[in-house]
Amino acid sequence: MKSKFAITLGFLALGLSAAPGQEVKLNIPGQPAAPAAAPAKPAFSDAQLIEEFGWFVGKRVGLAELELSPEEIATFLKGLSAAAGGKDSPYELEKIGPAMDEFMQKKQAAYLAKLKNKSMAENVAFFAKLKENKAVVELPSGLRYEIVAPGSGPAPKPSETVKVHYTGKLLDGSTFDSSVERKEPAEFQLDQVIPGWTEGLQKLSKGGKIKLYVPPHLAYGDDGRPGIPPGSTLIFDVELLDIKPAAAAAPAAPGAK
């Protein structure tokens, strides 16, 4: 081991550790070595990295959704500091756990109710304004739609598979999903999606384009989805690229009832 280590140092001293194809530079005795390049300055300080990590943790656990008061935030930081210091839980988890779950559920329920009420007020104002657009058709279900390009041929049936390009937006104009941005059309059986799509796309022919205004009860209701708050009205721009007939049922086996 000792002789091998010495040989390795010898090669490094002669500058012969270059990879194949690289220039080999010799360190000639008496010739000053080239000054080492100064290390690059870090893009962020340790303090900035720790601050960002704190934000990331708070965002991932949904602290904003709990709407904690300044006093509650201070108490939360007290517990966080204890955990960071390697201290034991201030209370017995087996005893405090159920009460903590109930407390957190109430906080989350209050936040979701607030979002729902906000969405309901926005929905009422939006649909009242939409009535001014004479190109928009309102159906008994509450779905509104506007034919942008009619297409040709028959409309799809609920049991058929449609191939579409679409962009879905919230009332504030933000996009929550888009096959156009992904550059990949979507395919699905028409009766396997939200009711607003099932009903709306039956108003369109192949090659056509439609704009759907889907109220929450025909979308995701009070549940919401990632990027979609509870009680949201959804706006879709849809292009119907193709319609594929439903697969034929397999013939019954002889003697089957």
As annotated, the active-site residues are 166, 176-177, 194, 220, 236
Tokens standing for residue 223: 């549940």
Pairing state between β 144-149 and 175-178 = unpaired
157: helix, strand or coil: coil
Q: How many residues does the chain have?
A: 257
From CA 39, how far away is CA 152, in angstroms rounded? 66
Tokens standing for residue 250: 């397999």
From CA 119, how far away is CA 84, in angstroms rounded? 39
Sign of CA dihedral 167, 168, 173, 174: negative
Rg (CA), the chain: 32
Nearest to residue 176, comparing CAs of 194, 155, 150, 158?
194
Give counts: helices (H), strands (E), the chain. 7, 7
Provide CB contacts within 8 A for 227, sequence distance 6+: 176, 177
